[in-house]
Structure 1
C-alpha cells in the first residue's frame, strides 16, 4: 500500500501545450511534486520563458518545440523524453485551439484546423506514447483535456471547438478500452471557465473591454455556484490525481472541474 498515493515524485511526464495557461499550470504542479517533465509547445519562445518561470525542484523540466498536428511529432516527443529521462510514465494531452466562428460564417479550413490539433494531434501523440509505454511493460497514465463544452455549448461561435472536445471525451473512452490490457489508464478532465491567457484573448477578439468585464461578471453571478473562475492549478491538481496511483482503478472516466457550472 502506497504511503502517499498522490506522490508522483520520480515519474516522467510529457505535457503538450505546456508553455501557458492550463498546460503550464500542470507542468509547474508536476515539477513541484517531484516529477520530471517534458514541456512540449509549438511556440519556442514561450516554452523557453515557461522553463525560466518554473520553481527549482524537486522535479525538473526539459522542452521540445513541436506542433502536435504534424505526423512525426508524437515520435519526436517520445525520442526526446527518452533522451532526457529514459522513459515515459504519464502523458497529458493539453494542446488545443479554440478559434471563434459562428457556423454560418465558418470556413472548412477553420473546422479542419481545429480537428487537426484537438483530435488528430491527440491521437498521434497518444499512439506514440502508448507504444512506448507498452514496450516498457510498466503501465502508465494518459490524461486528455476535454471541456464542459463537450457536454453543452456555452456560447455561439465555438461549435468547432465544442464538437472537437466531445470527440476527445469519446476518444478517451475508446482508447481506455484498448489500452486497459497493458495497464495503461486513459482518463479526461472537463474544465469549466478557467482564467487563462487564451480565454482572455478570445473575449478581447470579440468584445470591447467593457463588454468583456460585463460578460465575466454576469457569468460568475448566474452560471458558477462557487462564484469564481477556475485557475490553472485547479486543473493541474486534477491532472496530478489522474497521474498518481490514487486513481489506479479509474480508466475511461471524465473528471468535471467546473465550479458547479453544470449544476445550473
Structure 2
C-alpha cells in the first residue's frame, strides 16, 4: 500500500493556523506541492516567509473563500503555480457558540456559510477543475483527484450552546457522503476526517482560558491524551494517497476514542 503524495499538488484551506497549517506542512515535508490558502494573509506571510518562492513547492493564497470569485481565483492561482490540482483538503473552520432559543440569532447562518457552504463550494469548483484537467490530458482511466474535508465530533454531539456549529458540522458530513456518490463516476474520491481531543487552534486558545478542560478531555478520551495535529495529518495523507484508492464517502474519526464515550462536556472545536 502506497501512502506517497510526492509530486502531487494540494490545496489546503485554513492553512495559516492550527490543524490546517499542520496538514499543509506535513504534505510539503512529504514531497507535495502545496497551496496554503487562508483569509489571514498576515499569518500566511509570517508562516511561510521566504518559502513562498515563484519556483518553490510552497505558495500561498489569501482571500475569503465564502466568495465564489475568490474560490475561482484560488484555483487559477494554483494551476498557474503548479499546472494542476490533485488534492483538496478543506480545513477552514469558524467556531462560535449561540443561544439555541434566540430566533433572531445570525450565528447559524454564519456557521453554515463559513463552515459548510464554503467548503462545499470549494469542493464543487475544484472537482470541476479536476474533471476538465483529466479531459485535457486525455485521462480516461484511474483516479483523477481526492477531496478530504476536516470536521469534528460536534456533528454527532448534543450541546445546545453549540447548536449552530454542530448543525454546520453535521451538514458538512452529509455533503461528504453526497459528493462521494456524485463524483465517483468522475473518478474523484471524497472523504472526511472528524476529530476531537486534537490540539486545534481553537482548543489551544480555550485551554489558555480554561486549563481545567485539559484534564477533563484526557479523562474522557480512552487513549488518555490530547493528540498533536500531526496525528490528524497522517490520516489525511492516507485518504489523499493511492493507499485509499477504494475508500470514498467515509468519515474517519481521529479522537482517541472520545466519541465512543461522549462524556466530556467540553466543546469539540
Query: Please, what TM-score do these two structures have when normalized by structure 2?
Result: 0.88
Q: Which residue of 124, 132, 135 maps to 1:135?
A: 132
Query: Are residues 1:165 and 2:162 paired?
Result: no
| 1:170 shift after superposition | 0.5
Query: Counterpart of 2:33?
Result: 36
Query: Are residues 1:102 and 2:106 paired?
Result: no
| 1:216 shift after superposition | 1.8
Query: Are residues 1:217 and 2:222 paired?
Result: no
| 1:117 shift after superposition | 0.8
Matches within 5 A, 1:14-29: 14-29=11-26
Contact 2:9 2:86 in 1 (8 A): yes
Distance in structure 2 (CA, Å) of the matches to 1:53 and 1:147: 33
Q: Which secondary structure state, in structure 2, belongs to the residue aligned with residue 103 of structure 1?
A: coil
Q: Which residue of 157, 180, 201 maps to 2:184?
A: 180
Residues 216 and 107 (structure 1), Cα distance of their counterparts in 2 relative to 1, 3 Å cut:
farther
Query: Are residues 1:198 and 2:195 paired?
Result: no
Distance in structure 2 (CA, Å) of the matches to 1:83 and 1:53: 19
The number of residue pairs the alignment matches comes to 251
Residues 53 and 262 (structure 1), Cα distance of their counterparts in 2 relative to 1, 3 Å cut:
farther
Query: Are residues 1:151 and 2:156 paired?
Result: yes
| 1:249 shift after superposition | 0.2
Q: Which residue of 233, 236, 240 maps to 1:239?
A: 236
Residues 5 and 62 (structure 1), Cα distance of their counterparts in 2 relative to 1, 3 Å cut:
same
Distance in structure 1 (CA, Å) of the matches to 2:153 and 2:133: 34
Q: Which residue of 236, 246, 259 maps to 2:256?
A: 259
Query: Counterpart of 1:89?
Result: 86
Contact 1:18 1:40 in 2 (8 A): yes
Superposition RMSD on alpha carbons, in Å? Answer: 2.0
Distance in structure 2 (CA, Å) of the matches to 1:51 and 1:119: 27
Residues 102 and 229 (structure 1), Cα distance of their counterparts in 2 relative to 1, 3 Å cut:
farther
Contact 1:133 1:140 in 2 (8 A): yes
Distance in structure 1 (CA, Å) of the matches to 2:103 and 2:13: 27
Distance in structure 2 (CA, Å) of the matches to 1:197 and 1:244: 26
Unaligned ranges ≥5, structure 2: 262-269
| 1:203 shift after superposition | 5.3
Q: Which secondary structure state, in structure 2, belongs to the residue aligned with residue 27 of structure 1?
A: helix
| 1:60 shift after superposition | 2.2
Deviations along 1:107-156, whole A, 9 cap, x unmatched? 53221111111111012111111011001225100001111111223x45
| 1:68 shift after superposition | 1.4
